[in-house]
Each structure stands twice: as structure tokens, then as C-alpha cells.
Amino acid sequence: MLLVLALLAACSRQAPWQTRSIDGFMPDLAFHLEDDHGHSVQAGDYAGKVVMLFFGFSHCHDTCPATLGKLSAVLDAIGTPAADARVLFVSIDPRRDTPARLAVYTKAFAPQVIGVTGSRAQLDALSKRYRVAYSYGKNYPHGNYAVYHSSAVFVFDRNGRARLLFQQDDSAEAIRADLDRLLSQSPPA
Amino acid sequence: MDPLITPAEFFLPYEFYPAVLLLCLGALVVYVRGLTRVPGRIGFGRTFSFIFGVVLIYLVMQTRFDYWSQHMFFVHRLQHLILHHLGPFLIAIALPGPVLAAGTPAGVRRVLAAVWRRPPIRHVYAAVQQPAVAGVLFVGLIYLWLFPPVHFYAMLDARLYALMNWSMLVDGLLFWWMIMHGWPGAEHSHRPYAWRILLLFLIALPQIAIGAYIALCGHSLYDVYAVCGRIWPVAPAVDQQTGGLITWIPSAMMSLFGMLVVLRQWLHAEKRLQETMTDDGHVLA
């Protein structure tokens, strides 16, 4: 009985996250893609970093710039500790988003924002792993087509474990508080 | 959108569950084998109903349809309509028991019979097939997986997603089997026909309630589809309304169809009873 109470107390001391926890519900970070310099990258390259994975495309008018802008402002506000954070902007529009274009695009945001993309097979594998869908609208592959994609940011701790989900209506304050807390947790032993 | 999806892309499973393939293929092979061995003739309607039910279940779990179900709420509701209602309903109204038994190789049949005789299995089966328990389970599972926080994680976590679909299929098979065959211990009584009709009516009400609520509540309940990305440019509100309508109307209609089938069984049973009775009401020995 005392043990149960002690456990309950230990659990309740841990304040809940302000954004949605996905701890235990999604697989660890793993992918094979290309960064905005055309180099191949994989999850291991970001070991020890807090990684925010976001799917989008550079021709996007609303969700992508808004999300990347919000994350950049938060990283900026956090300051020095945020040096250990990375935002992986996965373009699911590799036809238009060449590495060179992605490099130019991500310059508009915080330096931690990295544009990555890959072949359709690589992108399909990653989107299946995180159960997200993407698809192309009218006029694909020629003309100015829309891309339908996931709107959330998947957040991984320093061990590559999926921990949080930042959704569109999460405030910058909530994201900042949770990101701060995740960054303050110790790196892998 | 998948504007140019090839048949190969459609028919290849998105998430391959070997158990679904084995179960569906096994059921078809055993059934067809049983058709040639069972005494008497099985009508075309019954055969068609069984095979169609099995094929429908396979299609919604092991084709591109499963991918669409993960990313559009209304397709997900259609998937569950087939897994929990239509597929098991078609299988159960075919009354395939004797055919499946005749088609099962003798060795396997002996093993299954031995397993079946074990008290824990028999008792659990008898308990979940009691009409009240079966009705609560049937409606309870619908409410559980549609409860927004549960639904969110079920769509996010591949293991929970598989558990959700399997639970709907297994419960659907148990429920409709009980409706069409009666429950253990009630084989020789007549009253169960009325109870089965009443049960079908009662389970329709909470399904109408939850379907109508989802369709008409006017605010977004399932934001996981925005998180994971919809595959077609359908407005989220329209997706939710359509899904609500599918939960509401066709699901309740299945209760009505079920009642008609049970009513028909009832009339047949009465007629058989009449034929075996003499004019003054005595049953012939």
C-alpha cells in the first residue's frame, strides 16, 4: 500500500507535458535521406541531438512557413541550449525541392533548420514508419501543384526516442517549455 | 491523391499481416473442400455469401484500402463497417458450420475438438456469447476505439492499429455468429429468436447516437488525421460528417437486416414445429 502511494507520488511529481506526448507510441528515429548539400544523412548523424521531424515542401504557402517560423522563433528564444536542437524539414516534393533549393529555402529560418529530401522510395519508407501520408494535387508533375502532407512535428529526444508531437494549435510558449525541458534532459550515457 | 494507381499497387498489402492471408485463404480452401463432402446441397446464395464475406474482409485489410483507412476518417469507418458488421454478417448468414466442419481434415478436426472441449475455452466462449455480454462488447468496442484520445493513439501506433482492427473483426464474427446461431445452451429453446431480435434493436440505438453525434456535433473530434496527413483534398469537417453518417445509418441498417434474417429463421422453425404436431397439439414422437 505504501509502495503504491510512493509510486503515485513519484508519478505525480512529474508535471505533464504541455504538448502531446507520444512516448512509447512511435518507433525511434531512423531514416536514410539527403541533406541540402546533397550528402546522404541518417538518424545516427543526429545522435545526442533533440530532433524535430517535419514533413513539408518549399512551395507551401501556409503550414510549412508558419511551422518553421514558429520553431525558429522558439529556438531563438531558448538561446544557447538550443544549439543541440535540429529541425529536419523533410521535403516530400523532391521533384521541385533540389538540395540547392532547400538550402536557399531553409536559410530564411533558424540555423538549426536543415532541409532534407530523398528518393520516393526513401520518403515512402520514412512516411510509413511515422504513419504519415503525402500526396500530390492537380497538375502534378507539371505546373504549380499542391502537396498534401502531415501538419505535425515529431519530436525525438537525445536518444532518438519519439517523445512529443507539436500540433498546429500548440502555442509557442507550450513548445518552448517542452523543448527546454527535453533539451535539459541528459544526453545518452 | 493516388491519381494513377496500378492494380498491382492496389492489391499489394500496405501493412502485410500473414495471419489475415492465412485465415482468409484457409477459410476459403476449407469451405470449398467442405462443399464437396457435406451431405445435401448447399445453395448458391449461401456459398456466395460466405465467400463474399471472406473476400471483403481480406480486401479491406490487405490492399491499398488499408492505407486509405489510416488517413481518411470516413474510409476508416467503412473499413470497420466491413470488419465488424458486413463481412461477419455475410459469413454468419451462410450458416457455414457444417461445410467448414466437413472441409476440415480429420486430424485437424480432432485437435480442434480437443481444444474446444477444454473447460476454460468453452466457458469463456459461453460467457462472451451470452446476449447481454455480446451486446455490450459489440457496442463497447465501437465506443472505445472512437473515444477521441484512444482513436488518436490507435491511428498513430501501428501495434494499436492492428489490435483495433483485429478486435473489431473477432468481435464481429462472434457477435453475428451468435445472432444467426443462438448462444451456447439455448439451442433447443424457441424464446431466443425474440431475444436476438430485441438485442439487434438495442445495439442499433447507441450506434445511432454516436454516429449522429460525430456527424452533427460541429467541432473537430479526430485531429489525428491532420497530424498524419489526409490523402485526398476533402475538408476535415466533411470527412468527419461522412464518417459519422457511415457509423450511424448503414450500421443501424445492419441491425434491421439481421432482424429480418432472424425473423425468417423463426418462421421456418415454427413451420417445422407445426408440421411435426398433430391437430390437437401433441408433438409426434
Mean pLDDT of B61-74: 94
Q: Which residue of B has its CA nearest to A56?
A: B229
pLDDT band at residue A135 under the 50/70/90 scheme: confident
Count Cβ atoms within 10 A of the Cβ of residue B249 and give its class: 0-12 exposed, 13-18 middle, 19 or more buried: middle
User: What pTM was computed for the model?
Assistant: 0.89
Point out the residue among A26, A134, A137 whose CB comes nearest to the CB of B229: A134
* Chain A with chain B: Cβ pairs closer than 8 A: 59
- Cα–chain center distance at B166: 11
Q: Which residue of B has its CA nearest to A27?
A: B157
Contact across the interface for B157 and A146, Cβ inside 8 Å: no
d(CA B166, CA B171): 8
Least confident of A24-28, B210-214, B270-274: B270-274
On whether the CB atoms of residues B220 and B240 are closer than 8 A, the answer is yes
Point out the residue among B153, B229, B233 whose CB comes nearest to the CB of A132: B229
Interface test with A, best of B228, B230, B231, B234 (most A CBs within 10 A): B228
Q: pLDDT, tens digit, for every residue of B224-261? A: 998 888 888 889 999 999 999 999 999 999 999 999 99
Q: What is the DSSP string of B9-38?
A: HHHS-SS--HHHHHHHHHHHHHHHHHHHHS
pLDDT band at residue B189 under the 50/70/90 scheme: low
User: Taking an 8 Å Cβ-Cβ cutoff, which residues of chain B contact chain A?
Assistant: 1-3, 14, 67, 70-71, 152-153, 155-158, 160, 223, 226-233
Q: pLDDT, tens digit, for every residue of A4-55? A: 656 555 555 578 999 999 999 999 999 999 888 888 999 999 999 999 999 9
Q: What is the mean pLDDT of chain B?
A: 91
Q: Which helix (H) or strand (E) holds B137?
A: helix B131-146
d(CA A72, CA A76): 6
Residue A134's CB is within 10 A of a number of other CB atoms, namely 21
Mean pLDDT of A65-87: 95
On whether the CB atoms of residues B82 and B57 are closer than 8 A, the answer is yes
Torsion of CA B97, B98, B101, B102, to 10 degrees: -150
Shortest Cα distance from B224 to chain A (angstroms)? 9
* pLDDT for res B283: 54
Share of chain A above pLDDT 90, in %: 74
Domain ranges of chain A: 14-184
Q: Which residue of A has its CA nearest to B67?
A: A133
Domain ranges of chain B: 12-275
d(CA B179, CA B52): 19
| Cis peptide bond N-terminal to A141, omega within 30 | yes
Contact across the interface for B157 and A26, Cβ inside 8 Å: yes
Give the architecture-level CATH label for domain A14-184.
3-Layer(aba) Sandwich (3.40)
Count Cβ atoms within 10 A of the Cβ of residue B202 and give its class: 0-12 exposed, 13-18 middle, 19 or more buried: middle
B1 has pLDDT over 50? no
A56 has pLDDT over 50? yes
- Chain B residues within an 8 Å CB radius of A128: 14
